[in-house]
Structure 1
């Protein structure tokens, strides 16, 4: 699920219009740590994601794929669902 987490953080940044450096500062981590999250090299604590959403006034559930999507298609289906949110195609 590292790719899924990486996609969630990348989409959060893109939708917010912020840079990796800004989100790293908001999260209280180094730029490299944030980049590792977006690259899927490491996985941040879930509360970090929620805190960033609150700071950016973005609904935390916006980038979390549905359980039914994950059960049907796994991680890749979840990534596609998140990508659709950014394109305004969410169901």
Structure 2
């Protein structure tokens, strides 16, 4: 990569996509984006972080959605673990 040149479009999809649900955002639009855009393009896991209810939802293709609240959040796709009591202090 040359110094001073931005990568406009990365050639590979990210392993994980993280969405943060804002108070004015529709939940259904985020789940639709995950299922219809992220997963078909190769993303392996996606999170919806919901600060208002202090929880994170984990989406993995062809698996049921998992809800995490006041516990250890664990994404087996990328190995990330988060203590939600610390995240949502």
TM above 0.5? no
Which has the larger helix fraction?
1
TM-score computed with the length of structure 1 as normaliser:
0.30
The structure showing larger relative contact order (alpha-carbon pairs under 8 Å, at least 6 residues apart) is 1
